[in-house]
Chain A
Amino acid sequence: MASSRISDAVARVIPRLRQLVAAGRSSQLYRSIFRHEWMDSARNRALEVTSNVFLHLHPISIPRHALKVRYTFCLGGLTFFLFLVETVTGVLLMFYYRPTPEHAYVDMKTLEHAVRFGFTLRNLHRWGAHLMVVLVMLHMLRVFLTGSYRPPREFNWVLGVTLLVLTLLLSFTGYLLPWDQLAFWAVTVGTNMAAATPFIGAEGPFHSFFGATATNDVRFLLLGDMRVGPNALLRFYVMHCVALPLVAGILMTAHFWRVRKDGGISRPL
């Protein structure tokens, strides 16, 4: 019978496979990567976390209530995940984009028409950014509604507000880069507000106090010019791709580290 021949073969092969896997798990290679055994034990579960650089920001064990999805709705974690999505898609987009008025828009069109899944890549980056802004605001709402900013977590809330502002600035600096009419005029509107800053904006109240003019005020600092042009595009590009992500990364490190140092996620007292 064919079926019995097959089952005989399976019966011979499975123990061999088991041996192979066991040999693999005790090999030098496996043990050099995973510093714990395969067996499901309390010790190995702890080592999974502490011996893995990506997981070790977690504690080994957490109170059961911290697993409740309807408490956090995973909003903070999802915001961080979207930051990672933005980083990966952003790096990929950088391969196709040059931040000069001659090239920027043409590169967008090339991405749309000549790069396979190029526009999907751009959509992921764009919609991911919008989603991240929404999630970071909802995360703040969650932390407020549960009173989780209270001692000893006051300063982590301050860091969180800073990260909210950074998220908005990251999104805003990226808004100019497609160099289309939407980008150009949105950033023109946004940066015109800067000129209205009291004391340091050329059109703000008390602008003559320090002698603020259109060529030395805070809008000029943002744009590198009196209006949105090549310098503004380059400045926004560098802020968007390098400076702001670095600052956000450093503050996120502090934010997550403090969640642990302040006693994990908040719980009823």
Chain B
Amino acid sequence: MMQPSASRATRTSPEALPGTSGDQVAVFPYLVFMEFLAALLISILLLVWALAVDAPLLPEANPGKTENPAKAPWYFVGLQELLVYFDPWIAGVAIPTLIILALMAIPYLDTNRTATGRYTSTERRLEIGHFLFGFALWWVLIAIGQFLRGPNWEFYWPWEDWRIPQSAAEGLWSFPWWLGLPALAAYVAAGVVLPRRRWPWLYAGLGRGRYLIVMTLVLLLYGVPIKMLLRLLLGVKYVLATPWFNV
């Protein structure tokens, strides 16, 4: 016989059980059981994966025989992919350092207090939008570097043969300083001034110091794909070339 649902609820719902009152539930067994279950499921997943797929082991390390392409571990391949568009000190040092520092700074820059402690698709649109853009860019760069780069880091679709060389010849050019310097200045100025006009509450909420830091970081974030597009569409090597460093 089916039990009436009301009595079933009173028998199995946590309210009727020891250690549970109002909104509070006992950690043992409820949380501990879930932790155990999660650990068990991931153990099964990992064990099946480890039994089914062998980790790669290539021939012994040979300093005299360069792998082509030589790829970094997949989580750093996104940075390696950026080497196409930036000098090594930017792609390999400045960008990762800025990512780490910017991530650490997030709690001190975000003055918004709406939608704390829950998922939202209608509030915090700017924060979530920028963050997801950066997060997605990180994975897209990894995917390109990992799956679409062949010998000499040339671009190959998955169905293209790596033995056929890609035409590496590109007519690359750099902005002369009288174009590059104003272009960078205009980018920074527009990025600092326009959002304040468009979203006055943003500036009011953040205050001047936070606003300037946030806009700098946002401009740096979008500077990466902008530089990539300049290179891909117009063949621009550097926006600003100086005797000491190039951007």
Contact = CB atoms under 8 A, between A and B. Distances in A.
A227 B61 CA distance: 13
Nearest to B66: A185
B60 A179 contact: yes
B73 A45 contact: no
Interface centre among B55, B65, B88 (most CB of A within 10 A): B55
A115 B56 CA distance: 17
Contacts of B245: 198, 205-206
A82 B53 contact: no
Interface string B70-89: 11111110011000000111
B20 interface: yes
B135 interface: yes
A78 B38 CA distance: 7
B45 to A, nearest CB: 8
B25 A205 contact: no
A49 interface: yes
B159 interface: no
Interface string B116-159: 11110000100010010001000000000000000000000000
A194 B103 CA distance: 21
Sorting the interface of chain B by its residue count into under 10, 10 to 19, 20 to 34 or 35 or more gives: 35 or more
Contacts of B49: 123, 127
A55 B32 CA distance: 8
B23 interface: yes
A198 B89 contact: yes
B20 A61 contact: yes
B116 A150 contact: yes
Interface stretch (A2-10, A19-27, A164-172): A164-172
B108 interface: yes
Contacts of A77: 35, 38-39
B19 A61 contact: yes
A64 B23 contact: yes
B244 A205 contact: yes
Contacts of A55: 27-28, 32
Contacts of A44: 18
A96 to B, nearest CB: 14
B31 interface: yes
Contacts of A123: 49-51, 53-55
B75 A171 contact: yes
A44 B39 CA distance: 24
B5 interface: no
Contact of B71 (A58, A189, A228, A266): A189
B46 A201 contact: no
Interface centre among A155, A172, A179, A184 (most CB of B within 10 A): A184
A182 B69 CA distance: 10
A171 B19 contact: no
Contacts of B54: 119, 123
Given A81-B39, A131-B46, A184 B62 contact: yes
Interface string A97-115: 0000100010010001000
A44 B56 CA distance: 49
Interface stretch (A66-74, A235-243, A251-259): A66-74
28 contacts: A48-B32, A61-B25, A63-B24, A67-B30, A71-B118, A78-B39, A81-B42, A120-B50, A120-B51, A123-B55, A140-B103, A145-B131, A150-B107, A150-B110, A150-B113, A154-B107, A158-B107, A161-B103, A179-B60, A180-B60, A182-B58, A186-B71, A188-B70, A189-B71, A194-B93, A201-B89, A201-B93, A204-B88
